[in-house]
Chains A and B, each alone.
Chain A
Amino acid sequence: MTEPAGFILDDPVASALVDEYSRQLPEPIRLRGRDGPWQRLRTDLARVGTGVVHAEVGDWLPAEASGARLRRLLGRDWDRYARLNRDDVRARFAASRALLKYAAGAVLNVEPHTLELAYGPTGRPYLRGCPQIDLSLSHTRDLLVVALTRRGMVGVDAELADRRMGPSAHRRMCTPYEIERIERMSPEQRNQDLIRLWTLKEAYSKAIGQGLRFKFTEFGFGPQGRLVRLLLPDGTPAAGDEWTLGSYALDDRYRISVAIYDAGLGEPAETAVDTMLDDSIVSALTTVLGSLSRTPALVRTT
């Protein structure tokens, strides 16, 4: 059972705004294995443009830790996987890539092993040859989370809700506006809010491809119980409606946050690979066919 955080407002006008905003945030979907429910994920992608799935590592472990099927599924990630020395890290790595490829495969309507997961210069993952979908991955302890969007860019992050943050964590990760607010909280409230802020900041910085390279003290978010908006260090708004941000308590055990950037791509009707033509290919075909139709001799001889 998930509980969306940050959407509690009494004012009717504000509530309408929140309703509109909330509609752009999907409810995380629990996956217990390779059987889905994939249709719910496809529906979220079609309805709000973004889907979030979560699972336990144990449900997505490969049958054989070094078998041919896992090697085929991991593709270019196999060498990286093989270099990992810790069993728990290897298990999370394999299970997270399996979840990601099955989820993306369900949305794109292709076999998971045919998808190639690649990484940008800063380590940001993407699916090679599938620009219609952006994705993000997070894992902590036994939890795996994958977010997919067709709206532009997405970042997701997860942490244990009761994880202890160090006594100086707020100095390293909070804006002056956030610090002023956090220092008035009880120690327990403070830790909860630091986890919420940390996951929001990681989600946002992963969405823009910066990860921990981005100074977490230079952007922030408001208090829990309000609409989640990107803020400048002094607490004033930093962005318009292009960002949709949400934070969820998951099973009272984890905190998940999602950041979605709307690139203004409109409403594509279809994301499946086999029913979608790349715009550049359509444009090239149109040009060629147009020139053919204006060259009667050539048309006659072909």
Chain B
Amino acid sequence: MSQPESTDDFGRTVREAVCRVGMYAPGEVGAHSEFYGDLGFDSIMYLELMDELEAALPQLGPIYMDELVDHLGSVGQLVTALRRQSPVVLGMTARTGRHPATSNDDLAGDGRKGMPEVSTA
């Protein structure tokens, strides 16, 4: 699988992984989509998502649920959290001087801290 080379590719790759797990068409999932309220994700779907992300973004290395659970509010939040792990994107950030979180396609919507419904309630 080819490696994403730009921040837009990175966000798209994550969204595609979300679509595969939730069985959504590509256009149905955006950065603002909330995993629970909009996409109906539950705990086992998060587990599947970790597998999809590891396969699609091998440069990130192992992806652990417990490290990402606080970033599973919206797809944009997840992208931002994953981007912090990405050596490819970190390299681009150093060149452009732009903070990854300000990329337009990945803003996390209302900024509500994600709290997966299934984790505790």
Which A positions have Cβ atoms within 8 angstroms of B? 83-86, 88-89, 93, 119-120, 122-125, 137-138, 140, 159, 163, 165-166, 168-169, 172-173, 198, 202, 206, 209-216
A residues near B37, Cβ cutoff 8 Å: 83-86, 89
Query: Are A125 and B44 closer than 8 Å at their CB atoms?
Result: no
The answer on a CB contact under 8 Å between B66 and A137 is no
Q: Is the CB of A172 within 8 A of B65?
A: yes
Are the CB atoms of B119 and A123 closer together than 8 Å?
yes
**Is B115's CB under 8 angstroms from A165's CB?**
no
5 intermolecular pairs with C-beta atoms under 8 Å apart? A119-B120, A123-B115, A168-B51, A212-B119, A215-B64
Residues of A within 8 A of B10 (CB): none
Chain B contacts for A172, CB-based, 8 A: 47, 50-51, 65
Contact of B116 among A83, A89, A211 (CB under 8 A): A211
Contact of A166 among B40, B51, B117 (CB under 8 A): B51
Report if B121 contacts A (CB, 8 A).
yes
A169 proximity list for chain B (CB < 8 A): 44, 47
Collect the chain A residues with CB atoms within 8 Å of residue B8's CB.
none
- Docked-complex contact A140 and B69, CB < 8 angstroms: no
Would you call B65 and A125 a contact (CB within 8 A)? no
Q: Please report the C-alpha to C-alpha distance between residue A88 and residue B41 in the assembled complex, in whole angstroms.
A: 12
> In B35-54, which residues have CB < 8 Å from any A CB?
36-40, 42-44, 46-48, 50-51
Count the A-B residue pairs with Cβ separation under 8 angstroms: how many?
Answer: 79
Q: Which of B87-121 contact A (CB under 8 A)?
A: 115-121
CB within 8 A of A125: which of B46, B48, B51, B121? B121
> Are the C-beta atoms of B40 and A89 separated by less than 8 Å?
yes
Q: Quick one: closest B residue to A81, CB to CB?
A: B37
Give Cα distance in the complex from A215 to B44, angstroms: 14
| 7 interchain residue pairs of minimum CB distance | A211-B119, A123-B120, A211-B120, A84-B37, A123-B115, A212-B119, A212-B69
Of A166, A206, A211, the most chain B CB neighbours within 10 A belong to: A211
Residues in A with CB closer than 8 Å to B119 are 122-123, 206, 211-213
Contacts of B120 in A (CB 8 A): 119-120, 122-125, 206, 209-211
User: CB-CB < 8 A to B48: which residues of A?
Assistant: 166
- Given A85-B37, A172-B65; 4 other pairs, CB 8 A cutoff: A123-B119, A159-B44, A210-B120, A212-B69
Q: How far is B118's CA from A138's CA once the two chains are assembled, in angstroms?
A: 7
Q: A85-B37, A89-B37, A140-B42 are in contact. Are A215 and B66 (CB under 8 A)?
A: yes
Kindly state the separation between the CA atoms of A107 and B36 in the bound complex, as whole angstroms. Answer: 30
Please, which residues of chain B bring their CB within 8 A of the CB of A137?
A: 121
Write out the residue numbers on chain A whose beta carbons fall within 8 Å of the beta carbon of B46.
212
- Which residues of chain B have C-beta atoms less than 8 A from A209's C-beta? 120
Residues from chain A with a CB closer than 8 A to the CB of B66 are 212-215
Contact residues in B for A83 (Cβ distance below 8 Å): 37
Cα–Cα, bound, A105→B70 (Å): 32
Residues of A within 8 A of B50 (CB): 172
